[in-house]
Amino acid sequence: MSSSGSKEIVIEVSNEEEAEEALAAGAPTLLYTGGETPANLRVSAKIYSLGRELVPVKVSKPSDIDEIVRLARTGVGSILVETADIKIIPLENILASLQGSGTRVFVRVGSIGEAEAMLGVLERGVDGVVYRPSSPSEIGLLLDIVRQVRKVELRAARVSDVFDVGMGERACVDTTSMLRYGEGMLVGSMARMLFLVHNESVGSKFTPPRPFRVNAGAVHLYTLGPTGKTLYLSELKSGMRVLMVSRDGSARIVTVGRVKIERRPMVQVNAEVDGVYGSVTLQKAETIRLLTAKGEIVDVTSLARGEEVLVWLSSRAARHMGMEVDEFIDEV
């Protein structure tokens, strides 16, 4: 998995109470603007101050970019770009001018959307964003953006068996996003191998497309959250965020709108790649599709032994509270 974990989220606070709330919500770094930083915060948190760790520069005209370049040449470690109206082009110019200088570029943003855009400018993005959240929950959203998995390596696994397993509960995940052809959720019975289950942007003879939906499979299955932590389908609920993966391995975060758990006939698919075995339990229906090694969709009712489907293999088979751990485990 690849992510952009080197990016930095700095939460702006103006008093000790706000600082404690932000830290409790998981803020890794604070920008304290309420005067002298309290001594207890200095001990318990990473604190930035304007003019010391972050040198602010207001950008409203081209000569301000020249000033940033001049400061970088004097050895300034981190610059905070401040502007009333964030524009991509000036930031692209700043990032291009400072390449190789060792100076980090931060920008003050006014929304989660702005933060996501700034972290992707010129593909590499700014080094960090400074944000004053309206609620502690926004801190978690920002951290997801920074730590999210952006790419996974998909492998072709050979199907070794497909068979009915009777009735069971499956989770239908309706997202708040329009999903694209070739996208789906990674799910599996064992954390070591997750299968790419396609979304319902393609309908059938009897059902119209539901491009926001992934009929993801049995409630016991693992899937991946934004940072690569595993989640059970049974624990997903409205407002949570999951990883949506494309057939080329690129990944994005989507928000769950609702989850429908219903009793349906189920089918199990077993597969193997390089001596690693895995399985997935899915609803037995022609609208439930996996992706083949060629990136084409194949429904589970016509899937046969010997066919190859796309899967992701975990570097560690064991999980504790969704996190990869180094220990022996044998899931069968």
Question: What is the full DSSP assignment across 211-231?
Answer: TTEEEEEETT-EEE-TTS-EE
- Which tokens belong to 228? 């690569």
For residue 274, the model assigns a pLDDT of: 94
* Residue 86: predicted pLDDT: 58
pTM over 0.75: yes
pLDDT at 156 over 80: yes
CATH 2.170.16 residue ranges in the chain?
Answer: 151-324
Residue 124 confidence (pLDDT): 64
Average confidence (pLDDT) over 106-124: 77
Strand residue runs (E) in 176-250? 183-190, 193-198, 213-218, 222-224, 230-232, 241-246
The vertex-144 CA angle with 18 and 53, nearest 5°, equals: 50
311 DSSP 8-state letter: E
Residue 200 has pLDDT above 70, yes or no: yes
The residue among 204 and 57 whose pLDDT is bigger is 57
3-state helix, strand, coil in the chain (%, to 5): 15, 45, 40
Token pair, residue 69, equals: 């370049």
pLDDT: which is higher, 218 or 94: 218
* Confidence (pLDDT) at 144: 86
Average pLDDT, the chain: 89
CATH assignment, 2-147: 3.20.20.70
Mean pLDDT of 132-152: 89
Q: Which CATH class is domain 151-324?
A: mainly beta
Most confident of 35-39, 60-64, 68-72: 68-72
Q: In what order do the strands lie in the sheet with 8-13?
A: 46-48, 29-32, 8-13, 128-131, 104-109, 78-82, 55-58
pLDDT (mean) for 180-193: 97
Output the pLDDT for position 100. Answer: 84
Q: Which of these ranges, 116-120, 193-197, 225-229, 284-288, has the smallest mean pLDDT?
A: 116-120
**pLDDT tens-digit profile of 238-265?**
999 999 999 999 999 999 999 999 999 9
- Coil, strand or helix: which one is 190? strand
Domain with CATH 3.20.20.70 in the chain: 2-147
Distance CA 249, CA 226 (A): 14
Provide the percentage of residues in the chain whose pLDDT is more than 70.
Answer: 90
Q: What integer pLDDT is reported at residue 122 of this predicted model? A: 44
